[in-house]
Amino acid sequence: MNHKGDAFFIKRGKHAIILVHGFTASTQEMEGLAKFLAGKNFTVIVPLLKGHNTNESDFAKTDSEDYYRSVLDAYAKVKGFESVDVIGLSFGATLALHLATEKKIRKIVALAPAIIYSSRILKFVGLIKRFIRKVPKAKKKVPGTKIYSPWDLYKPEAIKRRRAYDFVLLEQLHDSTLFVKKVKNELGKIKNPILIMHSKKDSTTKPEGSELLFKKVFSKQKKLIFLEKSGHIITEDFEADRVKRETLRFLK
């Protein structure tokens, strides 16, 4: 079943996993991983962050606390399970890390976590937002193809099926960067077993952010894996199968 980027919940075994998508994206980018884990007898819940996968007007009414509440609502539905793990992609990983500081979480998987963004403009977004409300995501030529895409992805099939906003609202972007800053200051509170994966070719968030995360958490069990062939959306790109395998191995 194709969930068309909306929230979904697949009940299987007694161990639950929350999978959190990224900023401006949808559950589509987590669907393949979620279904794979459901097939391994995990119960999976994939919340849709408020204001996402709808329209610009809805998105404009939201902030990071709204997104976090979407994650909390998902947690409330599975907190009675024997264990709860959390997986997040990009800003979804930032939300997942924050959840782990507040709720009972067994293990964390942080995929291309939004710890350090690549764009230099983000340093000035608090000022720029006063003059510019919205910017389109720039289209770039995908190497080895004739495709021009706004997504940080290399796999043509993944580009075609992606469901996400092709624009950014600067007010919401600025707010998300402030949330990231807050979470960076909380990393020392995290003691959960954690798996971190990041692609060296990611042009949205810096791999150095994953190195910082690995260094700052107080987890006794922690692992950092760098991928070689993917963009930012590693759950959908050329190494998606490896992401699935490594995630399953870690969560077992």
Of the two residues 62 and 123, the one the predictor is more confident about is 62
Residue 85 phi/psi, 5-degree rounding, is -110, 160
Give the model confidence (pLDDT) of 139-157 as tens digits: 999 988 999 999 999 999 9
Structure tokens, 136: 């389109």
pLDDT at position 132 is 95
Domain 8-251: CATH superfamily is: Alpha/Beta hydrolase fold, catalytic domain (3.40.50.1820)
State the average pLDDT over residues 37-52.
98
Q: Is the pLDDT of residue 75 over 80?
A: yes
Q: Say how many Å lie between the first and final Cα of the chain, rounded.
A: 25
pLDDT band at 173 (very low <50, low <70, confident <90, very high): very high
Q: Is the pLDDT of residue 42 over 90?
A: yes
State the average pLDDT over residues 73-88.
98
pLDDT at position 3 is 74
SS3 166: coil
pLDDT band at 123 (very low <50, low <70, confident <90, very high): confident
Give the model confidence (pLDDT) of 181-205 as tens digits: 999 999 999 999 999 999 999 999 9
- What pTM does this model have? 0.96
pLDDT band at 104 (very low <50, low <70, confident <90, very high): very high
pLDDT at position 135 is 95
Q: Is the pLDDT of residue 1 over 70?
A: no
DSSP state of 188: G
Ordered by start, the domain boundaries in the chain are 8-251
Q: Is the pLDDT of residue 51 over 80?
A: yes
Which residue, 147, 17, 5, is CA-closest to 82? 17
Distances (CA, A) of 226 to 14, 108, 231: 31, 17, 12
State the average pLDDT over residues 37-56.
98
pLDDT at position 52 is 98
**Arithmetic mean of pLDDT over the chain:** 96
